[in-house]
């Protein structure tokens, strides 16, 4: 029995509820109220910063002594007059910042963040709320580098398919606030950092390890990476020809001419405590619970799935085809951070749309279907966040005069789904959601 579009839409709604940053934050704020009577200055940055700062204001009220919030411009524009008034009354500075590529207003916002943190008294208390997209929001180039240098190297690494750890290792050594540098500027005696993670957990000898130094490039976290690490990453993607100014800067750091980022044990970070509120694993679990509420058996949950979207699509299709037949649909829930190596392609798309298209090709002629969704509401540099596909999607595309395999090879998934959307297919376009806990795929078969 093929899965219905309405079922997938219900999973989309469940994903949006599960990724709500307010729900993740509130218990921790209530615990802070119980444990401390102090007043806090507040700093929030990332895609969910406005919602998280508003929730803090609702819970802590007059105990917030002002603060700085970097905001996704679309979310700032949608702020209701009464909540804008509440922010103004609390002496919050609301600073617009763009994503995924930083602009001059990101630089201006980051400069103000640095000034704000440096201004706090040694007797002060700081509450920091971090969410996905914080790396872009806190973009402040090293003095000898420009915003254009950082944008170019970010695009170079993204197009080469580098993962977030590699990307952030470079960022931390080319900027002024990342890699623990912002925390090192802060004199406050108590710094509480609450993080909504957009980075996948690591498996360690004692179980899962949250990569705090990678989330938003770890501005308040010791940095285990070095200038040498960043140089090696860029050398692998032809950095000397594609980003010579960045390479020269990193070489200066490797020679000791520029200070390294604060390392584990650095006393400048001794007053900082960090708590992870949630992330992609919680999203996967919530979707599995939703499947159970629909009486859909969950055959498997794949956590922390990373790598090339084409490879992940092959794994999913192979898994589905390996399962015995059943009278009723079953579910596979996949969460993670997939990537697409764009190379010199001029196509338009993003990792989740690309994965959805690859699954549409792999499921052609079957009763299987999938919803692939980027939780921030924007997949790559597009207005799409993913798509719902099934065994008929490929034939529908061919009937519309499209060639799905060519679109996949050209990394042009967005263009294909945009055409199909006009013909009634399901191209997911919720717009910026105000959060980011990576990607998820729900496969029904």
Which class is 21-278 in CATH? alpha beta
Q: 5-14+280-444 with 21-278: one CATH topology? A: no
Q: How much is the pTM?
A: 0.78
Q: Does domain 5-14+280-444 have CATH number 3.40.1480.10?
A: yes
**Total Cβ atoms within 10 A of residue 406:** 11
Closest by Cα among 427, 428, 429 to 416: 427
Q: Tell me what pLDDT residue 272 has.
A: 97
334/92 Cα distance (integer angstroms):
38
For residue 199, which phi and psi values (nearest 5 degrees)? Answer: -120, 140
Q: Tell me what pLDDT residue 208 has.
A: 47
Low-confidence ranges of the chain (pLDDT < 70): 1-3, 201-210, 424
Domain ranges across the chain = 5-14+280-444, 21-278
Q: Tell me what pLDDT residue 203 has.
A: 44
pLDDT tens by residue, 320-358: 999 998 888 999 999 999 988 887 778 999 999 999 999
């Amino acid at each position: 029995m093929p899965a219905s579009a309405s079922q997938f839409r219900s999973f989309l709604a469940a994903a949006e509820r599960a990724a709500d940053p307010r729900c993740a934050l509130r218990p921790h704020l209530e615990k802070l109220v119980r444990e401390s009577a102090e007043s806090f200055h507040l700093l929030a940055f990332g895609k969910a910063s406005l919602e998280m700062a508003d929730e803090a204001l609702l819970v802590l009220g007059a105990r917030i002594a002002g603060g700085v919030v970097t905001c996704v411009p679309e979310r700032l524009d949608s702020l209701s007059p009464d909540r804008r008034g509440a922010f103004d009354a609390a002496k919050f500075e609301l600073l617009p910042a763009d994503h995924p590529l930083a602009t001059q207003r990101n630089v201006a916002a980051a400069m103000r963040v640095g000034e704000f943190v440096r201004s706090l008294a040694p007797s002060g208390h700081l509450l920091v709320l971090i969410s996905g997209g914080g790396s872009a929001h806190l973009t402040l180039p090293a003095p000898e580098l420009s915003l254009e240098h950082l944008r170019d190297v970010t695009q170079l690494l993204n197009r080469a398919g580098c993962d977030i750890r590699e990307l952030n290792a470079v960022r931390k050594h080319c900027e002024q606030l990342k890699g623990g540098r912002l925390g090192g500027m802060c004199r406050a005696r108590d710094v509480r950092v609450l993080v909504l993670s957009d980075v996948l957990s690591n498996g360690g000898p004692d179980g899962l390890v949250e990569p705090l130094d990678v989330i938003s490039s770890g501005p308040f976290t010791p940095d285990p990476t070095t200038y040498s690490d960043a140089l090696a990453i860029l050398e692998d993607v032809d950095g000397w020809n594609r980003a010579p100014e960045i390479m020269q800067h990193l070489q200066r750091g490797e020679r000791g001419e520029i200070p390294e980022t604060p390392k584990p044990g650095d006393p400048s970070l001794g007053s900082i405590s960090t708590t992870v509120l949630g992330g992609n694993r919680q999203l996967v679990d919530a979707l599995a619970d939703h499947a159970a509420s629909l009486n859909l058996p969950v055959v498997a949950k794949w956590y922390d799935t990373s790598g090339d979207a084409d490879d992940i699509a092959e794994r999913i299709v192979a898994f589905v085809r390996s399962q015995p037949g059943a009278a009723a649909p079953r579910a596979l829930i996949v969460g993670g951070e997939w990537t697409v190596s764009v190379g010199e392609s001029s196509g338009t798309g993003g990792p989740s749309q690309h994965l959805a298209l690859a699954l549409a090709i792999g499921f052609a002629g079957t009763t299987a279907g999938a919803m692939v969704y980027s939780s921030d509401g924007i997949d790559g540099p597009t207005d799409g966040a993913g798509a719902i596909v099934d065994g008929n999607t490929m034939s529908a595309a061919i009937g519309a005069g499209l060639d799905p395999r060519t679109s996949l090879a050209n990394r042009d998934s967005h263009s294909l789904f945009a055409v199909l959307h006009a013909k009634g297919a399901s191209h997911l376009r919720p717009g910026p959601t105000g959060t980011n806990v990576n990607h998820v795929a729900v496969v029904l078969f």
